[in-house]
Amino acid sequence: MGKFVVYNYDWISFPDAVKYRKLGASLAEQLGAIGALIRSVTPFSGDVPHTGCLSYDNNTNSLPKIPSASITVEDAELFGRLAARGVNITVSLSMEARIDGSDGMSRNTVSEITGSTKPDEIVLVTGQLDSWDVGQGAMDNGGAAFIAWRALSVIKKLGLRPKRTVRSVLWTGEEMGYYGVKQYSQKHINELNKISVAMESVSGTFKPTGLTYRGQNTTAKCILNEILQSMKPINATQLLIDDNIDGALDIRYLMEKDIPGLSLDTPNDQYYRYHHSIGDTMQVLNTRELDLCTAVWTAIVYVLATIDDQLPR
């Protein structure tokens, strides 16, 4: 017998909510709890639990690492109402999830079109290949993996040959701790200064609205803004500026090496309804919107690989 800590917070945003999932177990164990129950990190549940990783506080190594489980928004709110009435709530928790301490082999998936005149300079377009096993991982992050690979396919089918090498990398082990991009950064350390830009899409392949530039160079901003003007026919000309490296989930380890970063922007208010859940299936992808994201990615990749100079840092 023992007590559980239930985290039933008010949804504000993903960064605000995910801290309960990541840190909740360690905080609960310091209070003597035998387990933690986390309101799923989503604004709308549909009575479906969402999964994800957690971290144990290294400063509490003397304490047992208690289990932590996601529960639906509906169940978290039910617990809240019952507790407010003074009802004694009894919970029975049975889990099979575990970390066995062993490592396995996993690989990034890489494809490229070699540049015609500057083959040693690289435009890197990326997506995350792995996903949580509760769903199909279609939105997180199959859509991004698709457009990262498809951009090269479209360039090749159009018979175009950019000056720089265009390389598509589909990261492995992202959900486990960004292992793919970390390994890539280490293995390719001698060519990082030749990467003109690293591109990612981590928040859904809905109808594209433009780009987020993750840097501070004024000339780079002007170049990107000019490139985006070609996206007027599909209303994808918006350029946002954000130099927060932590916000660039899949490429932040490259950006730490001073590589400019670009993220695809979409109206992603629906993203966290499906994220890390059984609801993340192929049905959530819209064919038309996926084609538009592919078109934007292809155009941006090709222009950045063809202009005279690398994107300024």
Q: Give me the active site residues, please.
A: 174
What is the enclosing helix (H) or strand (E) of 75? Answer: helix 73-84
Q: Please give the structure tokens belonging to residue 16.
A: 């605000």
Interacting residues of 232 by C-beta distance below 8 A, sequence separation 6+: none
Q: What's the rounded Cα separation, in Å, for the pair 54 and 64?
A: 15
What letter represents residue 154's amino acid?
V
Q: Which DSSP state fits 123? A: E
**Among residues 307, 293, 301, 279, which one has the least CA distance to residue 140?**
279
Contact, 213 vs 198, CB < 8 A? no
Which of 270, 269, 265 shows the shortest CA–CA distance to 296? 265
The span from the CA of 308 to the CA of 298, in Å, is: 18
Give the span between the Cα atoms of 143 and 153, in whole angstroms: 15
Q: Which residue has the tokens 């289990």?
A: 67
Whether the CB-CB separation of 93 and 3 falls below 8 Å is answered with no
Residue 70, Cα to own-chain centre: how many angstroms? Answer: 19
Q: What is the C-alpha radius of gyration for the chain, rounded to an integer number of angstroms?
A: 22
Q: If DSSP codes are grouped into helix, strand and coil, which group holds residue 49?
A: coil
Identify the CA nearest to 125 among candidates 23, 197, 222, 20: 197
